[in-house]
Amino acid sequence: MRRIRAAAIGAVTLSLALAASACGGGSSTDGGGSNDSPKTLTYWASNQGASITVDKKVLKPELDKFEKQTGIRVKLEVIPWSELLNRILTATTSGQGPDVLNIGNTWSASLQASGALLPWDTKNFGSIGGKDRFVDSALGSTGAQGEDPAAVPLYSMAYALYYNKKMFADAGISKPPATWDELVADGKKLSKDGKWGLGAEGANLSENIHQVFVFAKQHGADFFTADGKPDFTSEGAVTAIKQYVDLMAKDKIIAPGNAEYAQNQSLSDFAKGKTAMVLWQTASATLASLGMKDDEWGVAPAPVRSGTPGSGTSVNSMVAGINLAVFKNTDNHDGALKFVKFMTSDAEQKILNKAYGSIPPVKAAQSDPAFNTKATAALRETLAKSAAALPQVADESQFETSVGTAVKELLADAAGGRPVTTESVKAKLEKAQQQMPAK
Amino acid sequence: MTTTTATAEADRRTVSGSTPGAARGPRRTGRIRRIGLPYLLLLPALVLELLVHLVPMVIGILMSFKALTRFSIREWGAAPWSGLDNYKVSVDINAPAGEALLHSFWVTCGFTVLSVGLCWLLGTAAAIFLQDTFRGRGLLRTLFLVPYALPVYTAVITWAFMFQHDNGLVNHVLHDQLGLTDKPSFWLIGDNSFIALLTVSVWKGWPFAFLVVMAGLQNIPKELYEAAALDGAGMWQQIRRITLPSLRPVNQVLVLVLFLWTFNDFNTPYVLFGKAAPEAADLISIHVYQTTFATWNFGTGSAMSVLLLLFLLVVTGLYLLLTSRRRKTADV
């Protein structure tokens, strides 16, 4: 009996020990990577197209091409946006992740801080043709300043103003607005009979951040100090967020129902002719999938206060986009670099960015006429001249959550008819700042 | 053939039994079989239970004593110890993190009491109603169980569509058809989000109460009701004096299970509201999730989880103590 008990205890202890070592305590990852598994790669692609099936259709032939060239088989998994960051975090903690993955470019510095991604030093960049192949604005969203980038730009995007030509003509508006005052005036003409001037995704935290970041830039404010500390309650930041929320609260050109949108419903409203304008990144492919014909919509640079987009207070977009990163503990280090080289090659950049309606961050690929169409010219211009990267700080991801939530709550107040004042905006931002991790 | 085998077996036993020094062998094997076998059979389940529950729990507790942030998450085993700091931050109600945790704790308490109460009430009423045989009873029983059988995500996302401000069915019925509200209400943002959350929770939870109470009702002898009816007891008296007291052991388990499920419910608020729930519906499970994964305070999130576990253990312990004492008193 005693022996059985001892055996049972032994078995339990052994299984616990095995479990503990399988969990690894996060310390088994030596961080160096290896070439133990040179014939396969796992690739986590973010959902870029209208659906995951569309993404697989776009990517599969390219991955087959890569296999033909190198003999390396790529196992593809397309991951929805809502799950991607959590999946990356789980992979980071367990050490059980893909070899190559897509990350939202705004997360670069946050994920860089975790130390899970391969740094792109001169040597690594050299293996894919050098840093100079990429446009500067895209490189600005690849990691904290002064450190080797944590990722390589893959698809670039920018915000632009999409407008419904027929609704504009019906309201007697001859050209798209260039300033916010013009946009509000046009919006008021358009907001009647159950139709609205502008659409918004009020419950989507990242979307809120993208919008208010631009407003803040136009008021000369940033959300972080030069040394990376949160600075959410500056006069410029408060004014900027109030201006954005007032589009619903005071100007009443955004439908109150937009306060609970988080699944691109505002783009769907736009395609159905319920909303006349949306500020969106690369909307053309989605608009087509929603049944809106190309000649029904126009695209113009997003408004600024002065009417002339540029740098500084005339910024009219964040640098949006997707980066390609390599997990530091990959078992196919060389293969992963080959894959990044393939995906960022001139030829593949043209194929992939055409398929997704985005702009290649690779200079040589941008000259293709496909990126000078009505749909893409405004985006390319914006990226080149008047887009700014979101703060590249380790706390960026938390900033998106806390300030994004504050804007969501303010829009909910506006929708519910509660007053939105400078004080209420400041109070929400103070709360958001207090939620940031202590340094 | 059978006889031959049996004889051979008996012979073998005799031989081994007569061998000096081996006298303890068969008896010992018998004892091992008798006493050890159940333990051996339990072992795989025990090992799995330890792996699935105990190991993550121990790791979670360890994490709660570490300064675990975005900088140390990859090498979490080597993250610096922080003592009780994470706990201090969680319970300091004068600081933002503690204040927010306390707020979500009260929201969760109110939500749990209302949801469990309504689930129990609806489930019990439906089960009693369906005790009598009538045409269509089987169909009703099946229909009542539909919410329980549906995948949670599908069901809750459908509710999210129905609660939408512009195109949702709820506003269509309440505002457009019945004219009960002045203007369409918001259900997924603002204060009404609590009502939306409660509605979905009760809709999802009451069929379980119905199922359990219905099973409990099967065990009450019909003679009791017949005797009570003969003595002139009406329906309410029968329910009060026979049904409810007889259901007490069933209800004891039912309420406890509903309490634990509701207090910890993550799926319903997450699917309805996403990772940032409105303040009015900021349940503690979502709050801990947000602290841990959205703001990357893994150590503080773990400490909050441990505090939640302790609270649930204390409440469950007290509940079991009280209910078992009451039952003992009732038995006497």
Q: What is the pLDDT of residues B159-189, one digit of tens each?
A: 999 999 988 999 999 999 999 988 899 999 9
| Average of per-residue pLDDT values in chain B | 87
pLDDT exceeds 70 at position B69: yes
Contact status, residue A158 vs residue A387, Cβ threshold 8 Å: yes
| pLDDT at site A28 | 38
The tokens 């290649």 sit on which residue? Answer: A360
Instruction: Say whether B190 and A4 touch across the interface (CB within 8 A).
Output: no
- Which segments of A24-96 does DSSP mark as H helices, in order? 52-70, 81-94
* Residue A9 at interface with chain B, using a CB cutoff of 8 Å: no
Contacts of A394 in chain B (CB under 8 A): 70-71
Give the pair of three-digit tokens for residue B65: 């004593």
A67-96 residues touching B, CB cutoff 8 A: 82, 85-86, 89, 92-93, 95
Kindly report, residue by residue over B225-274, the tens digit of the pLDDT. 999 989 988 888 999 999 999 999 999 999 999 999 999 999 999 999 98
Contacts of B97 in chain A (CB under 8 A): 435
| pLDDT at site B142 | 87
| Average of per-residue pLDDT values in chain A | 90
Kindly report, residue by residue over B201-225, the tens digit of the pLDDT. 999 999 999 999 999 998 899 899 9
Chain CA centroid to CA A223, Å: 17
Q: What percent of chain A has pLDDT over 90?
A: 80
**CB-based contacts of A122: which residues, under 8 Å, 6+ apart?**
A131
Instruction: Say whether A435 and B96 touch across the interface (CB within 8 A).
Output: yes
By residue count, chain A amounts to 439
Which residues on adjacent β-strands are paired with residue A40? A73
The pairing of beta strand A317-318 with beta strand A387-388: parallel
Pick the CATH number of A38-156+319-383 from 3.40.50.620, 3.30.1490.20, 3.30.750.210, 3.40.190.10: 3.40.190.10
- Which segments of B184-297 does DSSP mark as H helices, in order? 193-218, 222-230, 235-238, 244-263, 267-273, 284-289
The tokens 């599969």 sit on which residue? Answer: A60
B77: nearest CB among A25, A435, A437:
A25
Instruction: Say whether A437 and B290 touch across the interface (CB within 8 A).
Output: no
pLDDT truncated to tens, each residue of chain A (439 aa)?
Answer: 444 444 444 444 444 433 333 333 343 344 567 888 889 999 999 999 888 999 999 999 999 999 999 999 999 999 998 889 989 998 998 888 999 999 999 999 999 999 999 999 999 999 999 999 999 999 999 999 899 999 999 999 999 999 999 999 999 999 999 999 999 999 999 999 999 999 999 999 999 999 999 999 999 999 999 888 999 999 999 999 999 999 999 999 999 999 999 989 999 999 999 999 999 998 988 899 899 999 999 999 999 999 899 999 999 999 999 999 999 999 999 999 999 999 999 999 999 999 998 999 999 999 999 998 888 899 999 999 999 999 999 999 899 999 999 999 999 999 999 999 999 999 999 999 988 876 5
Instruction: Say whether B295 and A25 touch across the interface (CB within 8 A).
Output: no
Give the pair of three-digit tokens for residue A329: 């503990």
**Helix (H, G, I), strand (E, B), or coil: what is residue A92?**
helix
Phi, psi of B26 (to 5 degrees): -60, -40
| Distance in Å, alpha carbon of A187 to nearest chain B alpha carbon | 20
Kindly report, residue by residue over B4-13, the tens digit of the pLDDT. 444 444 444 4
| pLDDT at site B98 | 92
* Residue A412 at interface with chain B, using a CB cutoff of 8 Å: yes
Nearest CA to B205 among B134, B281, B121, B289?
B121
**Helix (H, G, I), strand (E, B), or coil: what is residue A396?**
helix
Size of interface A-B (CB pairs under 8 A): 141
**CB-based contacts of A145: which residues, under 8 Å, 6+ apart?**
A392
**CB-based contacts of B282: which residues, under 8 Å, 6+ apart?**
B100, B103, B104, B107
Give the pair of three-digit tokens for residue A27: 């310390």
Query: For B132-156, what is the mean pLDDT?
Result: 86
A93: nearest CB among B74, B278, B297:
B74
Contact status, residue A42 vs residue A308, Cβ threshold 8 Å: no
Give the pair of three-digit tokens for residue A29: 């990852």
| pLDDT at site B33 | 67
Amino acid letter, residue B77? G
Instruction: Say whether A257 and B166 touch across the interface (CB within 8 A).
Output: yes
| pLDDT at site B19 | 44
First to last CA, chain A: 56
pLDDT exceeds 80 at position B325: no
The pairing of beta strand A152-157 with beta strand A320-326: antiparallel
User: CA angle at residue B165 from B160 to B168, to 5 degrees?
Assistant: 55
Give the pair of three-digit tokens for residue B285: 């499970």
A160-219 residues touching B, CB cutoff 8 A: 202-203, 205
Contacts of A406 in chain B (CB under 8 A): none
Residue B104 CA to residue A80 CA, distance in Å, equals 29
| pLDDT at site A23 | 38
| pLDDT at site B6 | 44
Q: What is the dihedral of CA A338, B72, B51, A19, to 10 degrees?
A: 60
Q: Name the residue with higher pLDDT: B141 or A419.
A: A419
User: If you compute the radius of gyration of chain A from its CA atoms, what whole number of angstroms results?
Assistant: 24
| Distance in Å, alpha carbon of A288 to nearest chain B alpha carbon | 23
Contact status, residue A386 vs residue A314, Cβ threshold 8 Å: yes
Contacts of A1 in chain B (CB under 8 A): 31-32, 35-36
Task: Specify the CATH architecture of the domain A158-316+389-433.
Answer: 3-Layer(aba) Sandwich (3.40)
| pLDDT at site B261 | 95
Which of B72, B295, B298, B302 to mutate: most A Cβ within 10 Å? Answer: B295
Give the pair of three-digit tokens for residue A123: 């040597």
Kindly report, residue by residue over B302-312, the tens digit of the pLDDT. 999 999 999 99
| pLDDT at site B327 | 64
First to last CA, chain B: 60
Query: For B102-124, what is the mean pLDDT?
Result: 97
pLDDT exceeds 60 at position B92: yes
CATH topology of domain B103-304: MetI-like fold (1.10.3720)
Instruction: Say whether B77 and A394 touch across the interface (CB within 8 A).
Output: no
* Residue A45 at interface with chain B, using a CB cutoff of 8 Å: no
Sign of CA dihedral B71, B74, B79, B83: positive
Contacts of A4 in chain B (CB under 8 A): 32, 36, 39-40
Phi, psi of A154 (to 5 degrees): -120, -55
Give the pair of three-digit tokens for residue A254: 């955004």
Nearest CA to B196 among B188, B204, B205?
B188
Give the pair of three-digit tokens for residue B75: 């090498």
Report the phi/psi class of residue B98: left, alpha or beta, with left for phi > 0 and alpha for psi in -120 to 50: alpha
Residue A133 CA to residue A131 CA, distance in Å, equals 5
Which of B59, B74, B266, B279 to mutate: most A Cβ within 10 Å? Answer: B74
| Tally of CA atoms within 13 A in the half-sphere of A143 that contains its CB | 21
Query: For B62-78, what is the mean pLDDT?
Result: 89
Report the phi/psi class of residue A31: left, alpha or beta, with left for phi > 0 and alpha for psi in -120 to 50: left
Q: What is the dihedral of CA B233, B234, B237, B242, to 10 degrees?
A: 70
Sorted by where each begins, the domain ranges of chain A are 38-156+319-383, 158-316+389-433
Give the pair of three-digit tokens for residue B274: 């996403």
